[in-house]
Amino acid sequence: MARRGPYIAIILAALAIRVAWVLLTPDYVLVHDAVDYDRHAVHLATDGTFATAHGRATAFRPPAFSMSLAGLYSIVGTGGGRVEWARMFNALVGTGIVALIGVIARQLWGRREALAAMALGAVYVPLIEVGQAVMSEPLFALFLLGAVACALRRWVVPAGLLLGLAILGRANGVILVLPLAWAVWQRGSLWRPALLCLLAALVVAPWSIRNTLVLGHFVPFSNQFGSAMAGTYNDQAQHDPENPASWRALFHIREFD
């Protein structure tokens, strides 16, 4: 138990810092993507379906975070206090990220490195700041780090399931399929990477089927890739003197008027 004490202390400190951050910023307001995640979560909690966008069904936001919030809202309600509960949820998720940073550092290096990595993660302001917002990045990172930790142990089943959840958290998680498949691979044995890919596909499959039925064409993960690329690779982004190559909404781009 004594050897676990420093790990537990850092995890509790990380949680305390994140909860305190939420309590000390009561003026937090939902903006941009957070509005969408909250709107979908409320609609799921009250009607059991995803909200529409501009009157049409959408697969723009992968479902994992909104569905997690919907589960929370079904317990705490969808009133005005739900946003603070959502931020507390992400505070817990952020604490889990700190713990998994320690797990992976211990797997790769050792005890001292794990404690140092956890301590840095516990007080790293950008990680705290993102973690207190109603955004999908913390949950995605939690699933991703969990998948990596399991893959390093060659625990194929949990690695594949967590990889699928990571893809449902943010669609760009699909690029991790090959690295994680390589991590669980053993020379001369292909069943491990094949099983990992199969399990990830099975986790994502219900969402892909829903998209195909609702949208009328095959959308495996999300249909946000096009707008993400167009919003980044355009003349305005290229010649922006302050934030070159920064993404902007399509309705702010002249050539897409």
Q: Is the pLDDT of residue 128 over 90?
A: yes
The tally of CA atoms less than 13 A away on the side-chain side of residue 234 is 21
Structure tokens at 246: 């920064």
Per-residue pLDDT tens digits for 21-75: 999 999 899 988 899 999 999 999 999 888 887 778 888 889 999 999 999 999 9
Whole-model pTM?
A: 0.90
Domain spans of the chain, in order of start: 5-213, 224-257
Per-residue pLDDT tens digits for 168-227: 999 989 999 999 999 998 766 889 999 999 999 999 999 999 999 998 888 888 877 667
- The answer to whether 100 and 153 have CB atoms below 8 angstroms apart is no
Instruction: Tell me, rounded to whole angstroms, the distance of Cα 254 from its chain centroid.
Output: 31
Rounded Cα–Cα distance for residues 207 and 215 (Å): 12
Instruction: Give buried/exposed letters for 123-154 (b at 16+ CB in 10 A, else e).
Output: eeeebbebbbbbbbbbbbbbbbbbbbbbbbee
Residue type, 234: N
